[in-house]
Amino acid sequence: MKNIQDCYGINENGHLTLGGVDTVDMAKKYGTPLYLLDEDKIRRQCAIYKNALKKYFPEGSMPFYASKALSFVDIYKIVKDEGLGIDIVSSGELYTALAAGFDVTNACFHGNNKTDFDIEYGIKSGVGYIVVDSQEELCAVDEIAGKLGKEQKILLRITPGIDPHTLKAISTGRVDSKFGTPIIEGKAEQITKAALEKKNARLCGFHCHVGSQIFEPDPFIEASGVMLRFISDIKDKFGYETDVLNLGGGFAVKYLAEHAEVNIPEYIESIARNISSLCEKYSIKMPKIFMEPGRSIVAGAGVTLYTVGTRKEIPGFKNYISIDGGMPDNPRYALYQSPYTVLCANRANEAPDYKATVCGRCCESGDLIAEDIQVQKMDRGDTLAVLVTGAYNYSMASNYNRIPRAPIVLIKNGNDRLSVRRESFEDLIKNEVL
Ligand code: LLP
- Which one-letter DSSP state was computed for residue 282? H
Is the residue at 260 inside a domain? yes
User: How remote is the CA of residue 294 from the centroid of ligand 1, in Å?
Assistant: 6
| Residue that is last in its domain, among 275, 293, 311 | 293
Quick one: pLDDT at residue 34?
Answer: 99
* Nearest-angstrom CA–CA distance, 256 and 279: 38
270 and 305 housed in the same domain = no
Is the residue at 227 inside a domain? yes
Element housing 304 (H / E): strand 302-314
Contact 250, 211 (CB under 8 A): yes
Query: Whole-prediction pTM value?
Result: 0.97
Quick one: pLDDT at residue 107?
Answer: 98
Is the residue at 19 inside a domain? yes
Helix (H, G, I), strand (E, B) or coil at 365: coil
| The total number of structural domains that make up the chain | 2
User: How remote is the CA of residue 402 from the centroid of ligand 1, in Å?
Assistant: 27
User: How remote is the CA of residue 381 from the centroid of ligand 1, in Å?
Assistant: 35
Q: Which atom of ligand 1 is nearest to the CA of 214?
A: 15
Quick one: pLDDT at residue 178?
Answer: 87
Is the residue at 85 inside a domain? no
| Residue that is last in its domain, among 265, 293, 321 | 293
* Nearest-angstrom CA–CA distance, 318 and 373: 11
144 and 215 housed in the same domain = yes
Q: Does ligand 1 lie within 6 Å of residue 133's CB atom?
A: no
Q: Does ligand 1 lie within 6 Å of residue 368's CB atom?
A: no
Is the residue at 29 inside a domain? yes
CA Rg value for the chain: 23
Is the residue at 99 inside a domain? no
Q: Does ligand 1 lie within 6 Å of residue 335's CB atom?
A: no
250 and 285 housed in the same domain = yes
Which position among 108, 208, 362, 363 bears the catalytic label?
363
pLDDT tens-digit profile, the chain (434 residues): 668 999 999 999 999 999 999 999 999 999 999 999 999 999 999 999 999 999 999 999 999 999 999 999 999 999 999 999 999 999 999 999 999 999 999 999 999 999 999 999 999 999 999 999 999 999 999 999 999 999 999 999 999 888 766 656 655 666 677 899 999 889 999 999 999 999 999 999 999 999 999 999 999 999 999 999 999 999 999 999 999 999 999 999 999 999 999 999 999 999 999 999 999 999 999 999 999 999 999 999 999 999 999 999 999 999 999 999 999 999 999 999 999 999 999 999 999 999 999 999 999 999 999 999 999 999 999 999 999 999 999 999 999 999 999 999 999 999 999 999 999 999 999 999 99
249 and 129 housed in the same domain = yes
Residue 365 main-chain phi, psi, to 5 deg: -65, -30
114 and 192 housed in the same domain = yes
271 and 238 housed in the same domain = yes
Q: Which residues lie below 8 Å from residue 81, measured CB to CB, with a gap of 6+? A: 43
270 and 340 housed in the same domain = no
Q: Does ligand 1 lie within 6 Å of residue 157's CB atom?
A: no
Q: Which domain holds residue 423?
A: 8-38+299-429
Q: Does ligand 1 lie within 6 Å of residue 248's CB atom?
A: yes
| DSSP class per residue in 49-110 | HHHHHHHHS-TT-EEEEEGGGS--HHHHHHHHHTT-EEEE-SHHHHHHHHHTT--GGGEEE-
Is the residue at 414 inside a domain? yes
Cis-peptide, bond into residue 33, ω within 30° of zero: yes
Is the residue at 364 inside a domain? yes
* Nearest-angstrom CA–CA distance, 387 and 342: 6
273 and 127 housed in the same domain = yes
359 labelled catalytic: no
CATH of the domain at 399: 2.40.37.10
**Pocket test residue of 295, 394, 395 for ligand 1, highest count of atoms within 8 A of CB:** 295
319 and 246 housed in the same domain = no
